[in-house]
Structure 1
Amino acid sequence: MFSPQGPSLRELCNQAFSSVERGYDLLAPKFDHTPFRTPDSFLGATADALSDLGPFDHGLDVCCGTGAGMAVLRSVCQEGITGVDFSAGMLAQARSAHPDATWVRADARALPFTEYFDLAVSFGALGHFLPAERPALFAGVYRALRSGGLFALPIGAPPPLTSVSHWATLGFDVAMRVRNAIWRPPFVMYYRTSPLPAVRDDLTAAGFTVTAVPLTALGQRRDGSPRCRLILARKPADPTDARPADDPRCCAHG
């Protein structure tokens, strides 16, 4: 699972018994050599799907980590691209890899942007938010988007009950719940707390119009259903909004 350049078992243990922010600060220099980084296949499939919906002007990667999602934004956005994360260590790696992008350190549950971006994406971050925290996350993304803006995030289908992946993710989530019950600070990372129906409902409650399209390039399950869908959450267009595309209604550039 890990390349020789990845973290050692001791380093992973140090991360696991830290807070989420501190844990990712520690992991940041070796994060891209772990299986936690979003695979290029997911990024490419997302970029291909968004290419039919764009082009877009300004793009935002929510919980950007080391910046893997910048390749998606760069392929479909004509103007500036921005990444936001609350780990200074992850942002340092992202800034080094993508010096032409804008980087903002902030808590995704309180995004400091207002009606600036045409497209927002997020990859593999929902497990870091408890279900009760998703409304604040989605409300912030909604606020950050311009009228008619789009929020896109891929969500994989749950693994079959008889698969190794099912029992591995279940075991991981149980272990994390035990860890968080007996150890502080908590480390929030769960694989099974963001099913598609619940995410769809929370996005709808935030004001988005929600659809989902299959990412066919990522294959199908045995029953013929897609292995992954791309959620497309659209902020309704305001017919009175005729401001120019470069209107900088963004309260944080860093």
Structure 2
Amino acid sequence: MLRIGCHLSSSKGFLAMGKEAVKIGANTFQFFTRNPRGGKAKALDPEDIAAYLDFAKEHGLAQILAHAPYVLNPCAKDEGLRQFAFDTMCDDLSRLKYIPDAMYNFHPGSHVKQGTETGIAYISDMLNRINEKEYQTVILLETMAGKGTEIGRNFEELRKIIDHVEDSSRLGVCMDTCHVFDGGYDIVEHLEQVMEEFDRIIGLNRLKAMHLNDSMNKLGSHKDRHEKIGEGNIGLPAFCAIVTHSKLRHLPFFLETPNDLDGYQREIALLRKEAEL
């Protein structure tokens, strides 16, 4: 069965997110670990987590995705900002041990005119330091559109980060369809070739999740503007090809389109129907 969900607000707790997911036909979901622009995370509620885990087992919810706040920049020029990213991620990962099946996704960051190699070195160094804490959660690097000095604008940059992490056994990739399309990868006309390139450079075994987002912009724009499924420049046929692809259909898919819950419900139903044809 297609594993598909959307981004839900964590403000009401895990059980509430689980119930919202089931209500809209989802069997997974993504959430921010805290305010996406930063700030402290809410105190853990053991009773809520226990109730969620029981509910998830009963309703077939599996392998949810925690998203780090956007404000983190592991390759910032300022050492204090890099330390803030490290401290925040450690705090998030320490909390995620209570949700054993969850994965953790983050944006690699922007090198801010320090150069790509310097940025990659900072990110890898942070991941090596995190590994010393022996967290068990799988950490995902997200593919980026390439705005400004973003790291992760192509598969090669992500590969370099992975290569500089001493133990990369729990390190994977989340592919964002809008980001890779805006980054110049033609998943509309040449999906198979893009997947082959990803496999050659990174390895499909590293691909652990996908963000499904249409794009307001054209191929290679490097702008990163999400659109509803089928209403952008990627188009519905490409998404149908993605969710039914023999090497992708086993992955969890997460919608990050500009939608309310009703809109997500329609998109989930649409893609589920296409996947079952």
User: TM-score, normalised to structure 1's length?
Assistant: 0.32
